[in-house]
Structures are given as structure tokens and as C-alpha cells.
Amino acid sequence: MFALIDCNNFYVSCERVFNPSLNGKPVIVLSNNDGCAISRSDEAKKLGIPMGAPVFKYKSLINQHNITVLSSNYPLYADMSNRVMTIISKFIPDTEIYSIDEAFLKFEGYENYDLFSYALKMRSVILKWTGIPTSIGIAPTKSLAKIANKIARKFPSQTKNVHILDTDDKRIKSLKFFGLSDIWGIGRRLSRRLENIGCNNALDFMNLPESWVRNNLSIVELKIQQELKGTSNLNLESLKVKKSIATTRSFERPISDLHKLKERVSTFSLSCAEKLRRQNSLANVIIVFIRSNFFRKDLKQYSCSKVITLPYPTNSSFILNQYALKGIEDIYRSKIDYKKAGVIVSSLVPDDNYQLSIFEKQDYRHKPLMKTIDYINLKHGDKIKLANQDLRRKWKMKQEFLSPCYTTKISDVITIK
DNA sequence: TCTGGGGTCCTGTGCCGC
DNA sequence: TCTGGCGGCACAGGACCC
């Protein structure tokens, strides 16, 4: 059996742990730049704030109901997530941390356990030790555990936030109850396509002929379908090594000037290089992209990306920056209002075990230099930059409603008088 | 005026060499 | 020598997840 444990309204719950006056009140947490609502309390959901709601469109609703609005505080959430995951792994050794607020567990050798009461116990310990409420779904496959989790979350009074799908009857009944987009891996587009052929809920999807699913959708959907039938196709994934690393940002104001774009892209490529070095990886490929504002239909639209294969795998800020700038020059078009840009590095290899190039000579002085730069920047805050980065200008995210870093910054720790 | 960021995986297309 | 078929690869784009 698999279990999925999910933290309820995770970001909002983290904020409430340290600010209990928010309990029972509508609260939302915003994305970077305070753009959209990405976590909502149950009260805010009831008032009609959808997931991803652009906050400027909901200003009046927010004012009318006195909804508390907070900027996202990632150091806090990451720390709280670590605490929750540590507790989970004490209960079950086979765990896969799927995201900041979710983990899959595998019950192997638990045949003599009463899974329901074991899960209840786990839930209450997490709540007591961290203050974070969770929901747990248990089923024979990961996809069904997702469904079970939704039931646990949706019907807290009947389920006590723990639900087990252990019989065919329960499975069929649940699948009939849930829509297509409630299935893990079926999004908006696929739901619409499936509805067009008269497939209206998860059970209908499960009953589609497998050959049709394979030919018209993809191997992914076929696997999901088999999982819904109870055949386990997806196992726990062990610690994942990242396959790509990205730094992308939306701009506060549109940018059309190439020089300004280059300055931003430089910063992104440096950030990617730092992330690479932190995980001891080298990149073989760098991708640069820019795009205009999709939401402004009245303006000229343009988006383009450039994939560049590097001469040798590297994590040198200089080399990555050099190719990123080459990329942006290639795809840049004038007279466009750009809203977003980003740098992605991929085809990653470990830095102690990679294919050398016969023809390209890399500068071996870069490695110790990067190490020194990282050291200085870590110790003294980003002091060392490249010359083409604007040294005076600070590109700062908009975070007007940021809560303190209660658990990760000594000056922010709560004091009790 | 104001709409996130960081990931994974799959598919279609065009090119190349066998 | 020419040509069609096919697999492999790179790349762009799309769909999904949180």
C-alpha cells in the first residue's frame, strides 16, 4: 500500500503556527512579486479566491472580507517542511518527498498494522510537534493514494483526515465522484479533450479502452489509467538528482532595451552557475528565453528560446554568462515589451566524473576562482559581481507583506515576555 | 498600472547517416 | 549512383506537477 501525506494549505498553515491570530480567518499567501494567490486558507477558498488568482483583480473582495494577505516567506516554509518530513521518516522508512508539502510513503511489511490508526497517530504527532495539519490518503497505487488523500481532505469530519481505499467498491465509488482534472496527471487541456468524447469523470477515464488511451494520449496517461485500476505502475522515487536548474523572473515593468535584458540575463546565468556549484554539477547545455506579456493581447507578442550546447561541461560563471549573453543577442528583437526572461541549464553531470573534450581547452583557473567567489559572497553577502551587472541597481522582489523568518533568523525568533 | 518560479516528461519535426 | 525507409538525435513546444 502507498500513502500520500499532504500538508493542508501549507504556506498559510506555516504562517498560522507563528501567528495564531490568523486561525479561523481568511488568509492568502502570494507568489513572488506579490502577483497571485498561491496558498489559501479554507475560509479564503470559501469566499471565492481561486488558486492562482491575480491579486489586483480581487482587491475589492479582499478589502470587503478583510482577508489577510501575506507575501511568501520561503525560508520559513522550507524549514517547516524539513521538520514535517523528518517526523514522517521516523514513522515510515520508505518515503519520497514529492514536494515542499507532500510525501509518498510505502507500507511494506505493515500487514499486521492497523493502517488507519497508525496514520492517525502520525498525523497527530506532526500536528503536535510542528503545528501543521495534514491529510493522509492510503491506497494500493500512488494515483489512488492521491484520490484517497483528496477524500480525507474534503471530508474531515467523516474521515478524521485519514482515508483508505482498500476495496474495489470504495475505489469505484470514489472514481465516480471525482472529475477528470482531479486525477493526478490529467490537467485542464486533457480534461477538455476527454470531455469532448463523452468522458466525464475519473471512472469514465478508467474505463476507456487502453489502446485508445495509448494511441490518442501518451504512455503517461496509460500508466495513470492502469494505476486507477489498482495496478501499481509508479514506485517511490529515490532521492532525485536534478536534471535541470532554472532561474527565471517576471519583470516588475516591461523591458525592451537589449542592454537591460542582458544585465538581467547575466544575473540569471550567475545564479544558475551558483546553484550548479552548490550541488557539484556541471552543465552541458544552456537555454535562454525571453517573452512578452501573454496577458496583454493588445501588444505585439513574441517569445523565443535558444538552446546552446557548451564546448565542455562547466559551472563557471564566466563561461555560462558568456554563452547566455550570446543567446540573448541571437533571439532579441527590438520594439517588443518583454515581461519575462530566464536561463535554464541542463544535461547536468557530476563535477568529479565527466567527459573531457579533445579540442576545447578549458581554463582550469576558473574552478579555484569560483570557489573563492562563492566563499566571499556567502560570508559577506553578494559582494562580487560581473562587470556587466549593474552594481548599484538592486533588483528586488516585491514583498510588501512579508512575515518574519521565525525559525531561520535569530533576530526574528519570537520572544516571550 | 498590477497575472510566480522551478521542475519533469513526452511528442512532433527536421536533419543526418546508414 | 540514386532513392526511399528508418533510427537516432537535437530542438522547440506543450502538458503536467507543486
Domains along chain A? 1-166 (3.30.70.270), 167-239 (1.10.150.20), 245-380 (3.30.1490.100)
Q: How far apart are CA A162 and CA A294, in angstroms?
A: 41
Please name the nucleotide lying closest to A218, CA to C1': B10
Strand partners, A350: A281
Per-residue DSSP letter, A201: B
Please name the nucleotide lying closest to A275, CA to C1': B6
Nucleotides, chain C, CB distance < 7 Å: 10-18
Residue nearest to nucleotide C12 (CA to C1'): A305
How confident is the model at residue A148, as a pLDDT?
Answer: 97
Q: End-to-end alpha-carbon separation of chain A, Å?
A: 48
Q: What is the pLDDT of residues A334-373, one digit of tens each?
A: 989 999 999 999 999 888 877 776 666 778 888 899 999 8
How confident is the model at residue A391, as a pLDDT?
Answer: 63
Task: Provide φ and ψ at A273, rounded to 5°.
Answer: -60, -40
Query: Which residues in chain A come in under a pLDDT of 50?
Result: none
Q: Supply angle C-alpha A182, A187, A193, rounded to 5.
A: 105
- Interatomic distance A301 CA / B14 C1' (Å): 26
- Interatomic distance A309 CA / B17 C1' (Å): 21
How confident is the model at residue A358, as a pLDDT?
Answer: 64
How confident is the model at residue A159, as a pLDDT?
Answer: 97
CB atoms within 10 A of CB A189: 9
> Within its chain, how far is the Cα of A57 from the centroid?
24
How confident is the model at residue A182, as a pLDDT?
Answer: 94
- Interatomic distance A285 CA / C3 C1' (Å): 36
Please name the nucleotide lying closest to A295, CA to C1': B3
How confident is the model at residue A252, as a pLDDT?
Answer: 84
Q: Report residue A70 as a C-alpha cell.
A: 501575506
Task: Provide φ and ψ at A49, rounded to 5°.
Answer: -90, 110
Say whether pTM exceeds 0.95: no
